[in-house]
Structure 1
């Protein structure tokens, strides 16, 4: 039923006719939402659906200003100005076909906005203000369109369509059409209802059909897919309506009442780009803000979900109480910033039957960034990021040749989304000790372009005088590749059965790869604690910290329980890397104070893992090797620096408070460790107490004993005691609610399973 068309209810009296209202009510106009007031005004309650649901007064008292058109002659002058610009452009580039870059001429008599947008998308013309870059590549044709994935504000078209054109694309001339595109060209002849693009890899049986078609072609036979299109049973091939409808199940409307007010929304967006989008680059700020200003969030649900995720992430660095949730005392929960927007986003629902899109990938990245420092869900991030990577596979964006056939702007947005998911997966898999979701041999997508957002519309040419914000993210992704090989080599289930000699050889090779990475690193991104540009200072600090963390990951499995340590011993290597991380964090904290950063804004949440590992390595070394008094004081100083860094991160991210508690307790206890050896502390002989401490510590680094099941039971028991401690502190023990004891039931399960160790269970 169209809005504004009165419904005949058989009521003809003048009273009801006078009540007919042809505009939205005051509440709906304020929220800028669709109102059915013109329809519901005929019934007795005279309330629209929105006001009835939320028990609001459905009034029409606010003054509605009369909409005025443009001044006289305005449109004529705009047309003349565009005409002059076209003539000047043709003088500069005589051979240019303007219709391919700005769209066909507009006839006011026959103009249709929907058809025109479809035609613009078929020419691969991005929404304004983005422009299609000039190139020698022929444009897409209207008969074989490749719609843009960046819709205009009113667009309701899906963001991902079947890639059907291989002749006209932005791909380099030396890039041949991959078999995947050949497959798409043939299967598109089947003309089924579901035309959603889905990637099929080489093991898929559909490639056998493709090979059969090639043999038929060589024999001069007709196209198999054309014949199949004529003989196929439509009732089998067409997706039934109930399955199509099922894709919308569980999807709820957005609660616009929680949308940030005007002014606050821009504050949250700026906060996201200024604080979050410094290390992991996902969105193009120019495109995103342009879409927001044009009101795309009002008409495009997927984009509105991305906005909610941006609000949630940006709220972490905003002191405005409106972004927090109230507590019982009339104040606000200190760590609740952004959760109101994340709750609205999660309430919109998720359906596995819906096909992935660019916006869904971006939403996944932003959700992971928000949950990174939460207290209860960081262990789920590998699951969420792996879903995002699998979704990228379904779209086929992990294949370079396929992505070359996409509009350059879309291609770069997809590339950023993929590498963000890749980085989040690598980082969090080391966090919780799980295998990565995608191996490096499973994709060949290029790194993001080393170009800032504002240069995209200039042919992706970065200013030579400016270091792009993307440069550090590219180098981080290169380190992520090394992290993946480290995890595959040393931290798999079967790695403990590998010969130590081969593992040490692999460690040296990976360490050499880190050295090569350092040599190839642009000089402007090398760590310098006196660098003037604060943004580059922050990025270089995070990059160098990640480098040292990778060094710890390589040599941590080889730390021996022996008390004899040489200069090149793995423990010394890890200790040196930990000291370097401490020095970097100390410089960041001092620089943050000089830059007048608010508490919690000097260090990113990504530092939490290096802080945790470095602190444990240094503290373990105090029990694991002999120290002179100066060495002992130096180690304790570095731990206190790490503790200060942890406290600073804790101001914004609650999860880091657990690291703070561990380091605080161990720093207090470290003073007692020197008395365990007697005499001059650690330089004395090994008495029984010290031997006991060493025996306990060696289990962190030594290979597993032959009696693995006995070790499993001990590890599980320690884990269960820690979990009891954690749940009682947080008041979240489900076992207590059921009247059961966690440890009472641990024996049977522990007899055949290994629970997480302390490092993996703290999350």
Structure 2
């Protein structure tokens, strides 16, 4: 037997340890594995160990049993259940891909969800998620006039942290954990998602889903489903830990597993399945997405270590190189094309490119120089330009997907990446335009921010987290708007008078020799130097179907002006598959929420909660303790302090 193979516990140790389950995974450091090896070494494989087993120590006592009253599941009406299952496999499963549609549908047709409580819980979780794509009034809570209640009538029956878990991990249990964290990612308490991701990984490790030896006795379909649910739990933990600035539970050396199959689900039950030539696979998304998320995990460890030490320039260059290599390996049908006719591939491509640009931002965000300072870090990268253009590209990708795709992207980080893009773009507007902006110039400069908020408002119809992010960005936009609306001290210009060069947003193009290339060994640049060296004409920006990809391209493009792109698809194509409740909502004119309506949404329903007001710091100098590091949390208390500092910078100018 191979040294890494899971030892056959059953038969050899069952006489000594009767409660040991054959399908639980025990690694090399475990006492069970050590005992097995010791007995095998001395007595061989045929030994049977017999001993006295005192019941008070070997059987579960009555007071130790966790007794939870589990009520009978209440499922949707048959027609609604069919509709929600169809929505799940049309809109959600092509992205997360942890279910096998033929066997899932067959199990429901046979009534398994009525007999098997664990499978029934998975069905309810599927209904909860699919309800976010449904217009049927039955998906909302009775008597609640809010679309945000969609799916709760089914989810509250299976909420994982209030349920009893079997000590023997199962596929249904792992699927339920992931589906639950995906549903909760849009609710009032996304903190629970981080806990569920870690819990799911622990159960997956207990089942041996992290190690190839755990799959020796599984059938092909069971193997594929276990691998997929382990990987999506791993990705969820990576994403949630990055969002919250916490260490990941599992890193790349803690699992030994092949990637999921790169073939459609109809082939998963076949040993050594291969996708037919010339037929693009919907499963190619997950095969491409997982390596990107593994890079994302390394970014979190290298760029944001717990000791706070900034990484070296070589480390940043290496991470950039990994991302650039990754984007070059994408299959043709997943490369960005806003005119993609296959909406599944359009959604998948948008999810990949949005995540890719977000990774670029996460790498370079700590190195954006603070206005007024010559340099901030030990890197020579044009971080301001890289972050701004990655954010702008991400926003455009999400805009097209929202217009032409099949609705909400079922990824837990979508709202956060849109929020981060909006913050980065606002930072660049504040840093570059300064206090001399007019309302028109401010609106032009913040066009891409407003684009991100439009997409967020599309999501907020079914996601409370998206609504909270919209409120924060609206407050940030209002700060700049108030500054822009202030009476100008300059003499108004006559219609025929030449424009004042100081009011022109376009900075003259730098010579090719002056343009910094990412990774070159030059002195760290100040904001002004970056702008002067990197600002190009907007006309040089490619149209959307040819987005800037590599770090070098992102660093050369204009910092704060919008890309000059045009949609080439017909208006009749837009949102042809969107629920009607979202169809008329997306293109509403953008209006930031006025400050007097911003509530303290850390506790929106708490009695006596006070409205947070934003007061100007009223200083001409940049506060010594202020930087462009965004708050680690997303509560109003964290952001109100940040916004007060920002308001002070706006009033003082850069």
Q: What's the TM-score, normalizing by structure 1? A: 0.61
**Contact 2:7 2:33 (8 Å CA) reproduced:** no
Larger-Rg structure: 1
Distance in structure 1 (CA, Å) of the matches to 2:475 and 2:279: 45
- The answer to whether residue 280 in structure 2 is matched with residue 467 in structure 1 is yes
Deviations 1:681-732 (A, max 9, x none): 6989xxxxxxxxx9xxxxxxxxxxxxxxxxxxxxxxxxxxxx992245x123
Q: Which residue of 2 aligns with 1:382?
A: 194
Deviations 1:507-559 (A, max 9, x none): 11111110111122212211111222111011101100100000011111111
Q: Which residue of 1 aligns with 2:71?
A: 253
TM-aligned CA distance change 1:731 to 1:758, over 3 Å: farther
Q: Which residue of 2 aligns with 1:547?
A: 356
Distance in structure 1 (CA, Å) of the matches to 2:248 and 2:172: 23
- The answer to whether residue 203 in structure 2 is matched with residue 396 in structure 1 is no
The gaps in structure 2 that reach 5 residues or longer are 491-501, 507-526, 528-597, 611-628, 637-654
What secondary structure does 1:316 align onto? helix
Distance in structure 2 (CA, Å) of the matches to 1:388 and 1:348: 11
Deviations 1:629-663 (A, max 9, x none): 89966531111111111111112222201122222
Q: Residue 296 of structure 1: CA displacement? A: 0.7
Q: Residue 457 of structure 1: CA displacement? A: 3.7
TM-aligned CA distance change 1:185 to 1:449, over 3 Å: farther
**Contact 1:268 1:318 (8 Å CA) reproduced:** yes
Matches within 5 A, 1:507-518: 507-518=316-327
Q: Which has the higher contact order (CA 8 A, sep 6+)?
A: 2
Q: Which residue of 1 aligns with 2:334?
A: 525
Distance in structure 2 (CA, Å) of the matches to 1:602 and 1:302: 27
Aligned match of 2:417 in 610, 626, 644? 610
Aligned match of 2:447 in 637, 643, 647? 637
**Contact 1:246 1:353 (8 Å CA) reproduced:** no
What secondary structure does 1:515 align onto? helix
Aligned match of 2:313 in 491, 504, 521? 504
Q: Residue 337 of structure 1: CA displacement? A: 0.9
Q: Residue 248 of structure 1: CA displacement? A: 5.3
- The answer to whether residue 95 in structure 2 is matched with residue 279 in structure 1 is yes
- The answer to whether residue 570 in structure 2 is matched with residue 760 in structure 1 is no
Q: Residue 411 of structure 1: CA displacement? A: 0.7
**Contact 2:237 2:249 (8 Å CA) reproduced:** yes
**Contact 2:210 2:256 (8 Å CA) reproduced:** yes
Q: What root-mean-square deviation, in Å, do the aligned CA atoms of Structure 1 and Structure 2 show?
A: 3.4
Q: Which residue of 2 aligns with 1:63?
A: none
**Contact 1:400 1:444 (8 Å CA) reproduced:** yes
Distance in structure 2 (CA, Å) of the matches to 1:579 and 1:757: 18
Q: Which residue of 1 aligns with 2:267?
A: 455
The gaps in structure 1 that reach 5 residues or longer are 1-165, 167-175, 217-221, 685-693, 695-722, 740-755
**Contact 1:269 1:310 (8 Å CA) reproduced:** yes
Aligned length: 508
- The answer to whether residue 221 in structure 2 is matched with residue 409 in structure 1 is yes
Distance in structure 2 (CA, Å) of the matches to 1:379 and 1:191: 38
- The answer to whether residue 535 in structure 2 is matched with residue 726 in structure 1 is no
**Contact 1:252 1:348 (8 Å CA) reproduced:** no
Q: Which residue of 2 aligns with 1:418?
A: 230
TM-aligned CA distance change 1:453 to 1:642, over 3 Å: same
Q: Residue 491 of structure 1: CA displacement? A: 1.9
Deviations 1:67-86 (A, max 9, x none): xxxxxxxxxxxxxxxxxxxx
Deviations 1:206-251 (A, max 9, x none): 34434433542xxxxx349835x22x212269731536x9555114
What secondary structure does 2:401 align onto? helix
Distance in structure 2 (CA, Å) of the matches to 1:583 and 1:601: 15
**Contact 2:6 2:213 (8 Å CA) reproduced:** no
Q: Which residue of 2 aligns with 1:181?
A: 7
- The answer to whether residue 180 in structure 2 is matched with residue 360 in structure 1 is no
Q: Residue 193 of structure 1: CA displacement? A: 4.5
**Contact 1:251 1:351 (8 Å CA) reproduced:** no
Q: Which residue of 2 aligns with 1:646?
A: 456
Q: Which residue of 1 aligns with 2:253?
A: 441
Distance in structure 2 (CA, Å) of the matches to 1:532 and 1:334: 30
- The answer to whether residue 405 in structure 2 is matched with residue 587 in structure 1 is no
**Contact 1:364 1:385 (8 Å CA) reproduced:** yes
- The answer to whether residue 122 in structure 2 is matched with residue 306 in structure 1 is yes
Q: Residue 615 of structure 1: CA displacement? A: 0.3
Distance in structure 2 (CA, Å) of the matches to 1:226 and 1:365: 42
**Contact 1:194 1:239 (8 Å CA) reproduced:** no
- The answer to whether residue 242 in structure 2 is matched with residue 242 in structure 1 is no
Q: Which residue of 1 aligns with 2:498?
A: none
Q: Which residue of 2 aligns with 1:226?
A: 47
TM-aligned CA distance change 1:348 to 1:551, over 3 Å: closer
What secondary structure does 2:124 align onto? helix
Deviations 1:87-146 (A, max 9, x none): xxxxxxxxxxxxxxxxxxxxxxxxxxxxxxxxxxxxxxxxxxxxxxxxxxxxxxxxxxxx
Q: Which residue of 1 aligns with 2:641?
A: none
TM-aligned CA distance change 1:287 to 1:352, over 3 Å: closer
Matches within 5 A, 1:484-503: 484-494=297-307, 496=308, 498=309, 500=310, 502-503=311-312
